[in-house]
Amino acid sequence: MAATRSAKTIRAELADARDASRTARELAERELRISVVARSRAAEALERTAARPGVEETHRERLRAQYAAADRVVAQRRAALDKAREFESAAVVVVDAFESEATSASPLAAALLQVVGSKRATTPRTVTRTVPSPRTGSTAGVRSPRPRTA
């Protein structure tokens, strides 16, 4: 019965990890869309000054710098989205594999239960990780109420 309870607990934790990875991917997609719009606005502002005579070069230089910064943010957000997609894909694979192996009572499922159980005993309940702020780009420590699992 203890193995069944552990399997149920692990199944719930894996489902939570899958859901969290989907939420992270959706957030990364939203942040990428926002940054693409900001870059487009910076490009439009720069293009508007190209046709106007008498625009100070310092103003155009500032607009070029804003566009370059917006372009860097798009690249960072695109990379973050790629990582979030990879993590979500991995989470789905692990959940599916656990479901198929746990129902068949295979040695692989038993080993997974044992590994997760031993990791759980050594993992603290609260994990602090650094997460970038979507608005400022700076990082802040965020406390997670649950231990990180595979």
> Do the domain assignments include residue 84?
yes
Cα(145)–Cα(150) distance, rounded to whole angstroms?
Answer: 16
Q: Which of 143, 142, 21, 13 is nearest to 81 (CA)?
A: 21
Mean pLDDT over all residues of the chain?
Answer: 76
The pLDDT of residue 117 is 58
> Do the domain assignments include residue 89?
yes
Cα(80)–Cα(103) distance, rounded to whole angstroms?
Answer: 35
**136 membership: H or E segment, kind and range:** none
Look at 120 and 150; give whichever has higher pLDDT: 120
- Tokens 């566009």 map to which residue? 67
Structure confidence by residue, pLDDT tens digits, 45-73: 999 888 777 778 888 899 999 999 999 99
The pLDDT of residue 50 is 80
> Do the domain assignments include residue 144?
no
Of 90-99, 100-109, 139-148, give the lowest mean pLDDT range: 139-148
> Do the domain assignments include residue 133?
no
The tally of domains found in the chain comes to: 1
Reply yes or no on whether the pLDDT at 127 is more than 50.
no
Reply yes or no on whether the pLDDT at 86 is more than 90.
yes
- The region that residue 140 occupies, defined by phi over 0 for left and psi between -120 and 50 for alpha, beta otherwise, is beta
> Do the domain assignments include residue 109?
yes
Structural domain span for residue 103: 2-124
> Do the domain assignments include residue 63?
yes
Structure confidence by residue, pLDDT tens digits, 3-38: 555 777 878 888 888 999 999 999 999 999 999 999
> Do the domain assignments include residue 69?
yes
> Do the domain assignments include residue 136?
no
